Chains A and B, each alone.
Chain A
């Protein structure tokens, strides 16, 4: 089992729809969770961080965390073609004797007009 798992996609949604991206993680003790967006050929950029159970909203983005079920999700409302990118879920875990940021392989999102 991978430490952080995401569906690779592509997830295809029409413009204006809600895109739902999901991530599960293996370490029940994890406390810090991040969503990064990565355009093709570019570096990851942070779009959301979440630390507590529940929802966190920032503009069109909502991160949802459920530590009991060990999943974190990202909702993008009113999806735009400019949201087409790969979304990386990242979780801080203690593994191998140190804390590290573990990334999922990413979900590719395609928003079509």
Chain B
């Protein structure tokens, strides 16, 4: 069965370290998204990609970067981890980009809980 996986599932790191969170999907979806979820804020978009070599900033992109070298993977890098980046990170994918008309649903990975000390 097609799926979307994330690794690691839990990560503890120190302030200032570089951290990379992996996301891998076998749906063959062109569109992939990274969100963070914090209490009281819901899910907020960090970065998204609509295809290989395409990356775009979301609403909370400062301190994060992504790269898309193939269809299956969209790794998220925290260049210099800060305590404010302690959160749960979710990767998602969809078979069509978001449009102002009808948009298809996004499917979410299991999440990565990141703690920055």
Chain A interfacial positions (CB closer than 8 Å to B) = 4, 8, 29, 31-32, 34, 36, 42-46, 49, 51, 88, 90, 92, 94, 96, 98-101, 103-106
Binary interface profile of B, 69-83, with partner A (CB < 8 Å = 1, else 0)? 000000000000000
Whether A34 lies near B105 (C-beta < 8 A) is yes
Whether B90 lies near A29 (C-beta < 8 A) is no
Whether B110 lies near A103 (C-beta < 8 A) is no
Q: A22 → chain B, closest Cβ, in Å? A: 15
Interface size on B, residues (CB 8 A): 27
B105: A residues at CB distance < 8 A: 34, 46, 49
Q: Which residue of B lies closest to A2 (CB)?
A: B42
B35: A residues at CB distance < 8 A: 103
- In the bound complex, CA of A49 to CA of B45 (Å): 20
Task: Contacts A43-B108, A104-B42 given; indicate if A92 touches B59 (C-beta within 8 A).
Answer: no
B98 at the interface (CB under 8 A from A): yes
Q: Which residue of B lies closest to A105 (CB)?
A: B42
Whether A94 lies near B100 (C-beta < 8 A) is yes
Whether A43 lies near B90 (C-beta < 8 A) is yes
Whether A31 lies near B98 (C-beta < 8 A) is no
The listed residue (A32, A43, A88) touching B42 by CB distance below 8 A is A88
- In the bound complex, CA of A90 to CA of B43 (Å): 9
- In the bound complex, CA of A92 to CA of B33 (Å): 14
B63 at the interface (CB under 8 A from A): no
Whether B110 lies near A42 (C-beta < 8 A) is yes
- In the bound complex, CA of A99 to CA of B48 (Å): 11
Q: Which residue of A lies closest to B101 (CB)?
A: A31
Task: Contacts A43-B108, A44-B43, A45-B108 given; indicate if A100 touches B98 (C-beta within 8 A).
Answer: yes
Whether B43 lies near A29 (C-beta < 8 A) is no
- In the bound complex, CA of A29 to CA of B40 (Å): 25
Task: Contacts A32-B102, A43-B108 given; indicate if A100 touches B90 (C-beta within 8 A).
Answer: no
